[in-house]
Amino acid sequence: MKTQIQPWSAADEFDDESPLAIVAESTTESSAPAGGDQPFRARIGPRWALAPLAAAALIEAMQWGGPIQARLMSVLSGACLLGAGLALWLGLKTQRRQMQDLLLGAGSTSRQKSGPRLTGDLRDFEATLRTHLERIEASVQKSRDDGLSLGYRLAATEKRHTRAVLDCLADAVIVVDSGGRLAYANEPAGTLFGFKPDDEAKRAAAEMIANETLVQQLTTTLRSPLKSRRHAELAMGEPTFDVWLTHAAEGPSAEGEGGFVVAVLRDATREKAASRVMSEFVSHVSHELRTPLSSLKAYVEMLMTGEAEDEQTRKEYFGIIDAETDRMARLIDEILNISRIESGVVKVSREPVSLSLVVREVVDVMKPHAEKKQIRLSDDISPIAHEVLADRDMMKQCVLNLVSNAVKYTPDGGKVRVRLAVDESNRRAVVEVTDSGLGIPESDLPKMFQKFFRVKANSKIAKGTGLGLNLVKNIVETVHGGQVGVRSKVNEGSTFSIALPLV
């Protein structure tokens, strides 16, 4: 077990790179080194250095003899001490050097074989150190791999999630890259243009999108400055779409390269249809309101300019103004009612309602009007119980509208009958109002319950807003879950019916 004395070199001895620093570098990236910690006990100097020390002590002990021998013994012991010191110093230096070599060489485990040959204690130290360092390296590598794989998995998951979200949208999303190729399309887009969005092959957008206008829009947007946003309307056969196109930048660069276009398509068909219906409605309403308003204005002006010379005429004019004001108020009420029911805002009180009572009340109210036209108004109420869960006032309004219509559109001397029966098989109570009036042409029957619809042929015999039946339909069907119906024959008469579920 002899230590090889290495040649001393200034470069090695004064090497500034502390071995400890190298160890520190490799430990920062990893957590605690794998495996148990083995405490390392450093041994200062080789064991044989103790021998001269022991000899020196022995010699000192032998000094208890004569003077010449004593001086000789002192010199010998001094020499022994010196020798011990020298040996110690040499041992330490060598050890330090070997440790340095060890640590410097331990950076790459591949150089294992070409490391310095060492003494026992240093060998143990070396083995421990090597194990630690190997574990550290493995740990670092694993962390790097885990990190990469985790990062990759996270990115892949995020991509899947993003795609799933985009596929859930109602709108179609299309992305076209700066080369005009289709980079991405969500599911709705695929459905709309008839291709599978999963197809990873990036083909020219012009190839994949059959709509020329859209392709043109995409191209134009690509040529527009970055961050610009455009809107267009796209008609694809019947449905129309609102398209928003954005020229987005890939990154913080902005030289016109690396941009891409995102197009979002939204189905505007329903909106357009709804707004058409709305504007028709508004047009109708304003027309209906202008009519009584015209009377009001005209008569007021006549009164103001003194053209109603006598009391009689003045009274007449005031009467007309009053009546027309009521007419407008009624119209506005009807419209609001219908509107509220349709939007579900109306307050409905549901209670068991006896329809027979409702029918009798309405007949009583309408009798005077019928008599004025010599119309026979009768009721036919079945004795079986017919209670329905309904809003009493609304029920009355429905029956009243039907009977009022019947009387209005029946010429003098005719008849109107209100029938209340139970439809056992369907568990429904049915109110039928039959008249011997003008009847309704077959082509008009499907439109009877539409807003503002009036049968042209019958518009002479009576005025109407065309909202009465629509109100009935809304109350019966929307609010109460029942059903309205009509049967008719021109010049013979009509039957309007209301069916409601029994309680």
What string marks each residue from 420 to 459 as x (binds other proteins by CB under 8 A) or -?
Answer: ------------------------------------x--x
Site pattern 112..151 for other proteins (x: CB under 8 A):
----------------------------------------
Instruction: Give the C-alpha distances (Å, rounded to integers) separating 68 from 56, 72, 73, 132.
Output: 18, 6, 8, 59
Query: What phi and psi values does residue 117 have, to the nearest 5 degrees?
Result: -85, 135
Distance (Å, whole) CA 220 – CA 230 = 10
Q: How far apart are CA 344 and CA 99, in angstroms?
A: 89
Residue 377 dihedral angles phi and psi, to the nearest 5°: -110, 120
Q: In this structure, are strands 415-423 and 483-489 parallel, antiparallel, or unpaired? A: unpaired
Pairing mode of beta strands 172-177, 415-423? unpaired
Distance between CA 132 and CA 139 in Å, rounded?
Answer: 10
Q: Which of 117, 196, 231, 460 binds other proteins (CB under 8 A)?
A: 460
Q: Where are the alpha helices (DSSP H) in 172-268?
A: 187-193, 205-208, 212-223
Q: Coil, strand or helix: which one is 75?
A: helix
Report, in Å, the least distance between residue 343 CB and other proteins.
23
Considering the complex, state which of residue 112 and residue 283 has its C-beta at the smaller distance from other proteins.
Answer: 283
Q: Which of 484, 467, 473 is nearest to 335 (CA)?
A: 467
For 178-199, the three-class secondary structure string (H helix, E strand, C coil) is CCCEEEEECHHHHHHHCCCCCC
Strands (E), 319-400: 351-354, 376-381, 387-390
Residue 299 CB, nearest approach to other proteins (Å): 6
Query: Least Å distance between CB 466 and other proteins?
Result: 13
Instruction: State which of positions 306-345 bind other proteins (CB under 8 A).
Output: 307, 320, 324
CB of residue 240 to other proteins, shortest distance in Å: 24
Closer by beta carbon to other proteins, 244 or else 318: 318
Q: How far is the CB of 286 from other proteins (least distance, A)?
A: 5
Task: Tell the smallest beta-carbon distance from residue 334 to other proteins (Å).
Answer: 18
The distance of closest approach from Cβ of residue 282 to other proteins in the complex, given in angstroms and rounded to an integer, is 8
Which of 474, 473, 466, 469 is CA-nearest to residue 340?
474
Q: CB-wise, 218 or 285, nearer to other proteins?
A: 285
The distance of closest approach from Cβ of residue 309 to other proteins in the complex, given in angstroms and rounded to an integer, is 9
Binding mask 276-305 for other proteins (x = CB under 8 A): ------xx--xx--xx-xxxxxxx-xx--x
- Size of the chain in residues: 503
Q: Give the nearer residue to other proteins in terms of CB position, either 193 or 299.
A: 299
Residue placing its CB nearer to other proteins in the complex, 138 or 462: 462
Nearest to other proteins of 320, 357 (CB atom): 320
Cα separations (Å) of 295 from 140, 301, 324?
A: 94, 10, 7
CB of 335 to other proteins, least distance (A): 16
Which residues in this chain contact other proteins in the complex, by CB under 8 A? Answer: 282-283, 286-287, 290-291, 293-299, 301-302, 305, 307, 320, 324, 456, 459-460
